[in-house]
Amino acid sequence: MAGRRRGGALAGLVALVVAAGCGGEGSVEVPDPPPGAPPLAVGVVANTLDAARARPGELGEVEALGVGWVREELRWAQIQPAPGRPRWGAFDAVVADAAERGLRVLPLLLGTPAWAGPELTALPDDVDAFAAFAARAAARYGPGGEFWVRRQRLDAKLAPRWFEIWNEPYFEVFASTGTDPAAYARLATAAARAGRAANPRTRWLAAAELTYLDPAGERRPWLEPLVAAAPGLAESIDGLAVHPYSYGPPVGEEASLKFRFDRTAAIARRFAALTGRRLPVWITEIGWSTCTLRPECVPDETQAANFAALFDVVRRPPLSDTVRAVFAYHLRDFPDRPADDREAHFGLLDDAGDPKPAWWVVRGAAALADGRAD
């Protein structure tokens, strides 16, 4: 990007992935993890819940990508639109279809039903009801859960162990009645405690960032009020879900820390300083859009180079001691959207279903990962 430097290592990776765009799988080189690097889970965000007819093909693409994990939305409002017995059928199909392909699901719990809060994208007013939903999800889908007991033909080793509590509550789009770290802290603490009580083998991720914009548009710290509002949060959760998007590459980016990839390590350090507990980080979304806008989006080759650099940096200290999972966003571009639509062009596949160079980079990184994130 204009006015921003790239290091020599990244320049070399650029050359590799430019070749990948022409030569396919055989042209890709992803650096081997250093000896003794901890396990890394590699996954992709696919969002197949609403695509029942297309899901087999979508999960076939995930399987071809070689990753072991897929992140899917477990929508409370859809499963329990009214108080009472949840309707699990739609998400049962997601988990079953993924397991048929040998894939683990990372469930993302979100979406407030009308009886539990003012808006679908608002944090729920009824924290206890959300915690009860988390407990039911853990009891159903977690290791040894009823979903697996009733489906002996599926490999129960693929049962979700990790669950993510809400998506990006530090952005107004997912906290539509106002971003509020204290409210999220109470929600995450209650959900994690209830989920683990229902299934002690489950683990819980809370959303972490350095800053957020308050309802008045002022930028404020996220972690400090989060921890202050719920002193038991650090003991209740098991990891931090981080989305370290940046416009530039994951190394050598000249921008404020709050907009750089390397805030990943800063988030982990700050949380540990505030709580005395160092938790693993799961990067549950990361990517670069290939839309036509500049500097907001990048060429296909740069998207691939950035992913290659990302996988290199997370397998080396200091991040190798912290990051346990990386989920690429998104499996494919959104169809029938303008070329300058940033959100629509994060895909590893273009809207015609053809692999971009980044597809081969993620595939190569997945081949070097052992898939565990315990």
Rounded Cα–Cα distance for residues 279 and 202 (Å): 15
Residue matched to tokens 């009580």: 197
Q: Residue 42 in contact with residue 326, Cβ under 8 Å?
A: yes
Q: What is the mean pLDDT of each run of 10 residues along the chain (374 residues)?
A: 35 43 51 85 96 94 97 98 95 98 98 97 97 98 98 97 98 96 98 98 98 93 98 96 96 87 96 97 98 95 95 94 97 96 98 96 91 68
Residue 330 preceded by cis peptide, ω within 30: yes
Domain total in the chain: 1
Decide if 135 is inside a domain: yes
Q: What does the pLDDT read at residue 66?
A: 97
Rounded Cα–Cα distance for residues 71 and 80 (Å): 20
Q: What does the pLDDT read at residue 255?
A: 83
Q: What does the pLDDT read at residue 29?
A: 67
Rounded Cα–Cα distance for residues 244 and 257 (Å): 10
Residue 183 lies in domain: 8-13+38-368
Structure tokens, 321:
């001691």
Decide if 345 is inside a domain: yes
Exposure of 216 by Cβ count < 10 A (0-12 exposed, 13-18 middle, 19+ buried)? exposed
Decide if 20 is inside a domain: no
Decide if 76 is inside a domain: yes
Decide if 267 is inside a domain: yes
Decide if 337 is inside a domain: yes
Residue 203 sits in a domain whose CATH number is 3.20.20.80
Q: H helices of the chain, where?
A: 8-23, 55-65, 76-79, 89-100, 127-141, 146-149, 181-198, 223-229, 233-236, 263-275, 300-314, 357-368
Decide if 172 is inside a domain: yes
Residues shown for the chain: 374
Q: Residue 94 in contact with residue 48, Cβ under 8 Å?
A: yes
Decide if 24 is inside a domain: no
Reported as half-sphere exposure (CB side, CA atoms, 13 A), residue 258 has a value of: 11
Rounded Cα–Cα distance for residues 97 and 76 (Å): 20
